[in-house]
Structure 1
């Protein structure tokens, strides 16, 4: 299984990412991540109260009435969306779908909706660029720039936090796990054209590795070298030190410019979700072979990326979380 989680954060000079849908949960939005992701999203779906956060984000920017800044769909049992927000988006033609099912969370309802309409969301392979769906009332916000989009599947990016209430954070991990590993006939049929699921929180991008060999692309990760020499003791200012200060200033400016190229920090974690796992890794600072990990025992947290491409072998589903570069983190 191959994973390329940072493709959605690369600049316009890079090749376009694989087609993806953006799903907004009922949680404060990582605006820095959203600003990058919305440029290429095929569709934006708000989960019930997620529309409140979306509206407030746009209102703060003075864009709440901008047609191209509206979500395509709002779906759920609609017990969390504020009446004024619902009225606002309905008046702008946004499709607000009431879906009442006590045995199904709004997260699941939104995910199933996306998977059921994947043929309408994905760009046509023909030379025309017309929109063929009426179920999605708004036209696709951002059609592909060219025909070089990668893959025929629709990846789903989920914007939601893992901060705040602990039970809600576990609920999001639970949904990510269950919808990534569900092999029931119904689930298999509805996701036959959907690709990976990624959860993008305040500081990280998280996904569920599949059993077997997983190759994860990790380009442009900030690898912090271990300190090799002690910091020199400051000396009184001289003409030589003035020259050194200028050189240091130039180095700082270069570092600031380089800061804008990072996609990831070096930190990574791999958490077993279903009993004991044995993992083998390559491309990390601390690689292991057939290493046993289990909740309550040994856990692989705060390992460091040391390659443009890393490998993880596991026997079952394994949660992997990568730390986003500082420029993509939510400011709290």
Structure 2
């Protein structure tokens, strides 16, 4: 089997991958407007997970806009959907988006989180748009999920680990880093040094151990065991001269890379 190819083109100032459909899920965690703007422009479908609607609504207030400009900005960034149990979204935010035609869905399922509810909405959208036997998948980008409350972070780690077999590409992005699950096998990650680095890591989360080999890092591994009771490759570095990183793993692991400050 050939190595799986990965890139972070969705973080570039201008979208550069017209062949891929991207879907954005905004979680209830802080983020900067430059990061929101990059991801928003890369995606053709956007969803707020419950309190993520508050974050989107409030994200323009730091821009120093007049009331009229602020209203125009908010209307330029209308999500396609707000979904969750709606215990976090403020009443005025819910009413604002509803008044502008945004679908707001109250999902009462207590056995799924707001993030899971939004991923379910994407899966329903894929089926509705399907013209083939196997639906074409969106590449899902989570804005948030790797910061804030530890229990929510662990949920993100766990959910992406579980979804690796059914979702081909799913990323989590914060202002500090971008991360995703590498399933067992070989992977080639294209590195955009203007966006990523220098720090990166390979995290054996949700497994007993894995055997890792790498190329393109400052401190490469050669058939080394990685586990929580032993070696964990944190604070590794991308090499400026290297344009790709090659990774081979016998079990699924998390890859994370530092995200440079966006302007």
Per the normalisation by structure 1, the TM-score is 0.69
Q: 1:163, 1:169 → 2: CA distance?
A: 6
Q: How does 1:269-284 map onto structure 2 within 5 Å?
A: 269-273=201-205, 274-284=207-217
Equivalent position of 1:312 in the other structure? 247
Equivalent position of 2:66 in the other structure? none
Equivalent position of 1:6 in the other structure? 8
Q: 1:59, 1:304 → 2: CA distance?
A: 35
Runs of 4+ in 1 over 6 A off after TM superposition: none
Task: Give 1:27 shift.
Answer: 1.1
Task: Give 1:8 shift.
Answer: 0.8
Q: 2:159, 2:103 → 1: CA distance?
A: 24
Q: 2:70, 2:127 → 1: CA distance?
A: 30
Equivalent position of 1:56 in the other structure? 58
The verdict on how the C-alpha distance between 1:11 and 1:53 changes in structure 2, with shifts beyond 3 A counting, is: closer
Task: Give 1:164 shift.
Answer: 2.6
The verdict on how the C-alpha distance between 1:14 and 1:23 changes in structure 2, with shifts beyond 3 A counting, is: closer
Q: How does 1:283-294 map onto structure 2 within 5 Å?
A: 283-294=216-227
Question: Between Structure 1 and Structure 2, which shows a larger proportion of strand residues?
Answer: 2
SS of structure 1 residue aligned to 2:47: strand
Q: Which of the numbers 156, 170, 178 marks the counterpart of 2:154?
A: 170
SS of structure 2 residue aligned to 1:320: strand
The verdict on how the C-alpha distance between 1:157 and 1:64 changes in structure 2, with shifts beyond 3 A counting, is: farther
Q: How does 1:68-107 map onto structure 2 within 5 Å?
A: 68-107=76-115
Do the aligned residues in 2 keep the contact of 1:28 with 1:161 (CA within 8 Å)?
no
Equivalent position of 1:216 in the other structure? 189
SS of structure 1 residue aligned to 2:142: strand
Do the aligned residues in 2 keep the contact of 1:157 with 1:198 (CA within 8 Å)?
yes
Deviates more, 1:152-161 or 1:265-274: 152-161
Q: 1:316, 1:32 → 2: CA distance?
A: 35
Equivalent position of 1:156 in the other structure? 140
Q: Which of the numbers 17, 20, 33 marks the counterpart of 1:31?
A: 33
Do the aligned residues in 2 keep the contact of 1:29 with 1:54 (CA within 8 Å)?
no
Q: How does 1:153-302 map onto structure 2 within 5 Å?
A: 153-181=137-165, 188=166, 195-219=168-192, 221=193, 262-273=194-205, 274-302=207-235
Equivalences, count:
249
The verdict on how the C-alpha distance between 1:175 and 1:67 changes in structure 2, with shifts beyond 3 A counting, is: same
Equivalent position of 2:262 in the other structure? 327
Task: Give 1:99 shift.
Answer: 0.9
Q: Which of structures 1 and 2 has the bigger CA Rg?
A: 1
Equivalent position of 1:116 in the other structure? 124
Unaligned 5+ segments in structure 1 are 125-151, 182-187, 222-261
Do the aligned residues in 1 keep the contact of 2:14 with 2:42 (CA within 8 Å)?
no
CA-to-partner distance for each residue in 1:68-117, whole Å, 9 max, x for gaps? Answer: 31111000111111111111110110000111111111110101111220
The verdict on how the C-alpha distance between 1:286 and 1:5 changes in structure 2, with shifts beyond 3 A counting, is: same
Task: Give 1:56 shift.
Answer: 0.7
Task: Give 1:321 shift.
Answer: 0.1
Q: CA RMSD in A?
A: 2.3
Unaligned 5+ segments in structure 2 are 64-68
Q: How does 1:120-139 map onto structure 2 within 5 Å?
A: none
CA-to-partner distance for each residue in 1:267-326, whole Å, 9 max, x for gaps? Answer: 110011211111011111111111011012111011112211111101111000011122
